[in-house]
Amino acid sequence: MSEKLTNGQPNTAPTTNEEPLSVAEPHLQQLVLDNGITLIVIENQAADIISGRFFFKQAGTIAEKRDRAGLAHLTSAVITKGTEKLSALDIAEKVESIGAGLGADAATDYFLFSLKTVAADFPAMLKLLAEIVRSPSFPTAEVELERKLTIQNIRSQQEQPFNVAFNQLRQQMYGEHPYGVSALGTESSVAELTRQDLQQFHQTYFRPDRLVISLSGRITPDTAVSLIRDVFGDWKAPTNPLPKPQFPTLTANPFTAEIVRDTQQAIVMLGYLGTSVDCSDYPVLKLISTYLGNGLSSRLFVELREKRGLAYDVSAFYPTRLEPAPFITYMGTAPKNIEVAIAGLRDEVKRLSEVKLSEAELQGAKNKLLGQYALGKQTNSELAQIYGWYETLGLKVEYDRNFQEAIAKVTGDKILEVANRYLDRPYLSLVKPQ
């Protein structure tokens, strides 16, 4: 699928069907190119840096079949190790010689390239990234090496009680759904992956009409548009549609599973099937997660660790997903405390369905969540990430404002309603010593 770059000659041919630049936020502009690429530009002249995020929609682990689990991750590990013209050493020298940063990562719902450099070097680094994106060679030796390293990582995770508990819980909740397995895959699935699998994955999911480019830093929208046209403007979108994934229906059917390991502490993990990011209940569950398990002032930390001394570690988290995400509470505790730890976690979550939060509790959770959210948008890398991420998830860049407004409007009654809807009967994953 990879098309050659234009031999260093910029493609300056005018386009006729591009959507006009639109302003979503101050200093932020957005453009959709002729070939379907979405470009977001956040101009920030404060520092001589440009950070970029290049997202391919739904090209993460969500695109994998179970017998090919780990394919997106392996692709991300190898894709920067060679192109049709450059070796892995050539690429490394080009990046390191100017102190730039360039990497690839496979997330749950998308595939991501990251780029960071001083403004003067950005055009050269952009051309290099475009060549990696469009013409990777996937050297056989690199595929074999990264496959072995991945299998080692999988085995290493199997020695970590938290990861063992989380993998077990994930399998309980999601079964054959792509969310039911680690992004690394399994030993058996990774062992079967080939160079041809990586090539096919690239040819299928790397296409301009699935690409979101988010740039932040010392760059104007006009300059950004010109540079992106130079390196990606001649990349044509295929006429065939992407394969439509068929996911198993997710229904909550809680049960308990436990694994016995040689460990000094037990891991107790409760999981509830939440919702997808485009649901109106998503911000409410984010706020509940913050209240329960975010930081030293969170409800779980104060009640179960500080007051009762049950936990070495206790928290809650609720990831952002295109499909229904898991709402997790967990605790690391002494083996003798397992039963009371399970009851403590259950009771604290159940309390949200029965007792309305006080105004002080509610406002405290909002302040914490919105404060941390604001602090997560301080650097060019963070700005490029969050706006590109929202666009990639189908929420559009306006969701930055919409999310904050939604959090501010959450009431105690709404938390009761949402908690009763999702946080009823949990799955239980337990890792304990003999």
Average pLDDT over residues 183-208: 97
Q: Do residues 180 and 174 make contact, with C-beta atoms less than 8 angstroms apart?
A: yes
pLDDT exceeds 70 at position 11: no
- pLDDT for 93 equals 97
Q: Where in the chain is the domain with CATH 3.30.830.10?
A: 19-232, 256-432
Average pLDDT over residues 27-39: 94
Kindly report, residue by residue over 137-178, the tens digit of the pLDDT: 999 999 999 999 999 999 999 999 999 999 999 999 999 999
pLDDT exceeds 50 at position 368: yes
Largest CA distance in the chain: 71
The tokens describing 375, both together, are 């602090």
Question: For the residues of 268-288, what is the DSSP string, one character each?
Answer: EEEEEE---TTSTTHHHHHHH
pLDDT exceeds 70 at position 7: no
Element (H, E) at 368: helix 359-375
Kindly report, residue by residue over 408-421, the tens digit of the pLDDT: 999 999 999 999 99
Q: Do residues 180 and 173 make contact, with C-beta atoms less than 8 angstroms apart?
A: yes
- pLDDT for 243 equals 80
pLDDT exceeds 90 at position 362: yes
Q: Do residues 342 and 267 make contact, with C-beta atoms less than 8 angstroms apart?
A: no
pLDDT exceeds 70 at position 427: yes
Q: Which candidate, 57, 48, 143, 60, places its Cα nearest to that of 99?
A: 48
pLDDT exceeds 50 at position 381: yes
Match 């996911």 to its residue by tokens: 247
The tokens describing 412, both together, are 């105690």
Pick the CATH number of 19-232 from 2.40.160.40, 3.30.830.10, 3.40.50.300, 3.30.160.150: 3.30.830.10
Distance CA 395, CA 110 (A): 14
Average pLDDT over residues 26-55: 93
Q: Which amino acid appears at position 373 of this protein?
A: Y
pTM of the entire structure? 0.90
Band of residue 26 on the pLDDT scale cut at 50, 70, 90: low
- pLDDT for 17 equals 41
- pLDDT for 18 equals 46
What number of other Cβ atoms are within 10 A of residue 121's Cβ? 16
- pLDDT for 22 equals 44
DSSP state, residue 306: I
- pLDDT for 21 equals 44
Q: Which candidate, 112, 134, 100, places its Cα nearest to that of 54?
A: 112
Q: Do residues 62 and 322 make contact, with C-beta atoms less than 8 angstroms apart?
A: yes
- pLDDT for 157 equals 93
- Dihedrals phi, psi of 259, to nearest 5 degrees: -130, 135
C-alpha 128 chain-centroid distance: 24
The dihedral of CA 177, 179, 180, 182: what is its sign?
positive
Element (H, E) at 390: helix 380-392
Q: Which candidate, 242, 210, 266, 186, places its Cα nearest to that of 431?
A: 266
DSSP state, residue 87: B
Distance CA 279, CA 258 (A): 32
Kindly report, residue by residue over 76-114, the tens digit of the pLDDT: 999 999 999 999 999 999 999 999 999 999 999 999 999
Distance CA 227, CA 206 (A): 20
pLDDT exceeds 80 at position 118: yes
- pLDDT for 25 equals 53
Q: Which candidate, 236, 210, 223, 242, places its Cα nearest to that of 34?
A: 236
Pick the CATH number of 256-432 from 3.30.830.10, 1.10.287.110, 3.90.110.10, 3.30.479.30: 3.30.830.10
Element (H, E) at 311: strand 311-317
- Tell the burial category of 257 from Cβ atoms under 10 Å away from its Cβ (0-12, 13-18, 19+): middle
The dihedral of CA 63, 67, 71, 73: what is its sign?
positive
Average pLDDT over residues 251-258: 86
The tokens describing 366, both together, are 């909002």
Kindly report, residue by residue over 126-139, the tens digit of the pLDDT: 999 999 999 999 99
- Which range among 251-265, 279-293, 350-364 shows the weakest confidence by mean pLDDT? 251-265
Long-range contacts of 370-376 (CB under 8 A, 24+ apart): 370/404, 370/407, 370/408, 372/290, 372/294, 373/403, 373/404
The dihedral of CA 378, 284, 325, 243: what is its sign?
negative
What number of other Cβ atoms are within 10 A of residue 92's Cβ? 14
